[in-house]
């Protein structure tokens, strides 16, 4: 009888405490039960068509290599084509000049909506590019499409392939993995105004990195999200085989924007990004690069791939961690920004350490500077 009475009292106490526990807000991204490392991730492998194409040799492999190289350097190739036409075709100079001015003043790059064009994202060359870099997507948690999100993408790599191949291309499977969520790559404004590249970047859904552009996008809610490569150009100088050094210690602007919008932060890491190109390294060269970066606001890494500038063929596995919850705060304080920033870095490190043994066993330990 005494034992039964104690059991009844224990059960009653548990029932009384249960609602109170349920009402507690999530303190951190890892407080939920089960632990994120105990949950089975959702893995989206490359499509059968992409994998079959990836395993082909001969002409198919040549096309994959050529197209991957072209797409890698479109930010240089497209403005160069514009410049060559402008110089050599005199009767097109006036319309080209007008078009160049239009690219500079186009309000689309900052309207928060962009000009995302699905047929461009689905063009046949993307199949060959995605076959050259077979893309695997790993989600620790399915995301609610009624929210906007800020995807913090790392690492930058040399030319930030994940921005094009993973996020920009429909062939990567991103649209299926995040059904109902539209992810806009965030690009530096001075790159978005480059003639011809302007149209290409906007077609992938790109928006300017300005505060105005980001805030307009996130204000729409209902799945309208941004993907920002947080480490920026400075991080490209740390790119090399096995190097996993991220420039995130003082990068807090994306956290501020997430707090203002009340948009959860999604730590995102692409395994393979830093192995596409190798970089020449020397102390004197690094000093010159850092000086140039301080003057021109972008880095100039000296890099090489296969046969010169051909990207090294490597799978890209992009892992999307569990979203870090944030409370909408119109005017966040430094303390609030620092707290969420520290939580984000902790979650990103956890994601890397969890999946490194699977997708990057030979990579270095993650270092955040």
CA dist list (Å): 223 to 118, 184, 220:
17, 11, 8
| Cross-strand bridge partners of residue 207 | 186
Q: What is the largest CA-CA distance in the chain?
A: 102
Which pLDDT score is estimated for 255? Answer: 96
Which pLDDT score is estimated for 7? Answer: 43
Question: If you average pLDDT over residues 24-36, what whole number do you get?
Answer: 43
Question: If you average pLDDT over residues 101-116, what whole number do you get?
Answer: 93
244 backbone dihedrals φ, ψ, rounded to 5°: -130, 50
Instruction: Give pLDDT tens digits for 339-351.
Output: 999 999 999 999 9
**Burial of 361: CB neighbours in 10 Å, binned 0-12, 13-18, 19+:** exposed
Question: If you average pLDDT over residues 233-247, what whole number do you get?
Answer: 77
Task: Give helix 58-72 / helix 125-132 axis angle, nearest 10°.
Answer: 90
Which pLDDT score is estimated for 339? Answer: 96
Instruction: Give pLDDT tens digits for 155-166.
Output: 988 888 888 899
* pLDDT higher than 80, residue 29: no
> Which tokens sit at 340?
């969420």
Question: If you average pLDDT over residues 53-64, what whole number do you get?
Answer: 92
Q: How confident is the model at residue 70 (pLDDT cuts 50, 70, 90)?
A: very high
Angle at CA of residue 274, ends 269 and 280, nearest 5°: 155
Which pLDDT score is estimated for 22? Answer: 31
- For residue 337, the surrounding DSSP H or E stretch is helix 334-359
Question: If you average pLDDT over residues 121-128, what whole number do you get?
Answer: 93
- Specify whether the CB–CB gap between 271 and 155 falls below 8 A: no
Which pLDDT score is estimated for 185? Answer: 95
Which pLDDT score is estimated for 282? Answer: 65
Please tell me the pTM assigned to this model. Answer: 0.85
Instruction: Give pLDDT tens digits for 151-191.
Output: 999 998 888 888 889 999 998 999 999 999 999 999 988 89
- Supply the DSSP symbol for 324: B
How many angstroms separate the CA atoms of 126 and 104, rounded? 28
Say if strands 135-139 and 150-154 run parallel, antiparallel, or are unpaired. Answer: unpaired
Q: How confident is the model at residue 289 (pLDDT cuts 50, 70, 90)?
A: low
* pLDDT higher than 80, residue 146: yes
Question: If you average pLDDT over residues 354-369, what whole number do you get?
Answer: 89
Question: If you average pLDDT over residues 29-34, what whole number do you get?
Answer: 44
- Supply the DSSP symbol for 269: E
Which pLDDT score is estimated for 284? Answer: 77
Spatial neighbors of 136 by CB under 8 A, at least 6 apart, are: 43, 44, 45, 46, 315, 316, 317, 318, 359
Strand blocks (E) in 112-170: 135-139, 150-154
Q: How confident is the model at residue 299 (pLDDT cuts 50, 70, 90)?
A: low
Length of the chain: 369
Question: If you average pLDDT over residues 242-251, what whole number do you get?
Answer: 84
Which pLDDT score is estimated for 133? Answer: 92
**Burial of 83: CB neighbours in 10 Å, binned 0-12, 13-18, 19+:** middle
How many angstroms separate the CA atoms of 187 and 24, rounded? 38
Which pLDDT score is estimated for 35? Answer: 61
How many angstroms separate the CA atoms of 316 and 226, rounded? 20
């Amino acid at each position: 009888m005494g034992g039964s009475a104690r059991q009844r009292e224990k059960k009653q106490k548990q029932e009384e405490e249960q609602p109170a526990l349920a009402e507690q807000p999530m303190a951190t991204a890892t407080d939920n039960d089960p632990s994120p490392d105990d949950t089975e991730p959702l893995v989206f492998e490359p499509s059968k068509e992409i994998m079959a194409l990836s395993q082909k040799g001969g002409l198919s492999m040549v096309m994959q290599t050529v197209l991957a190289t072209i797409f890698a350097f479109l930010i240089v190739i497209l403005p160069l084509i514009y410049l060559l036409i402008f110089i050599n075709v005199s009767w097109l100079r006036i319309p080209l000049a007008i078009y160049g001015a239009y690219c500079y003043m186009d309000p689309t790059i900052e309207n928060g909506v962009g000009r995302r064009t699905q047929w461009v994202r689905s063009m046949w060359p993307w199949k060959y590019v995605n076959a050259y870099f077979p893309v695997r997507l790993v989600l620790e948690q399915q995301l609610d499409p009624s929210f906007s999100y800020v995807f913090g993408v790392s690492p930058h790599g040399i030319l930030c392939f994940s921005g094009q191949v993973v996020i920009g291309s429909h062939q990567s499977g991103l649209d299926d993995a995040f059904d109902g969520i539209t992810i806009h790559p965030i690009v530096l404004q001075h790159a978005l105004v480059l003639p011809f590249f302007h149209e290409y970047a906007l077609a992938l859904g790109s928006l300017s990195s300005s505060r105005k552009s980001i805030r307009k996008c996130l204000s729409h809610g209902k799945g309208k999200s941004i993907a920002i490569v947080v480490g920026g150009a400075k991080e490209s100088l740390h790119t090399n085989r096995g190097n996993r050094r991220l420039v995130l210690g003082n990068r807090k602007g994306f956290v501020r924007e997430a707090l203002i919008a009340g948009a959860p932060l999604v730590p995102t890491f692409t395994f393979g990004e830093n192995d596409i190109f190798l970089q020449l390294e020397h102390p004197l060269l690094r000093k010159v690069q850092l000086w140039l970066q301080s003057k021109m606001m972008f880095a100039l890494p000296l890099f090489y791939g296969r046969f010169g500038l051909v990207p090294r063929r490597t799978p890209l596995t992009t892992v999307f961690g569990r979203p870090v919850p944030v409370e909408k705060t119109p005017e966040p304080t430094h303390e609030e920004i620092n707290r969420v920033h520290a939580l984000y870095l902790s979650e990103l490190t956890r994601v890397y350490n969890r999946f490194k043994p699977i997708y990057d066993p030979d990579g270095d330990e993650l270092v955040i500077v």
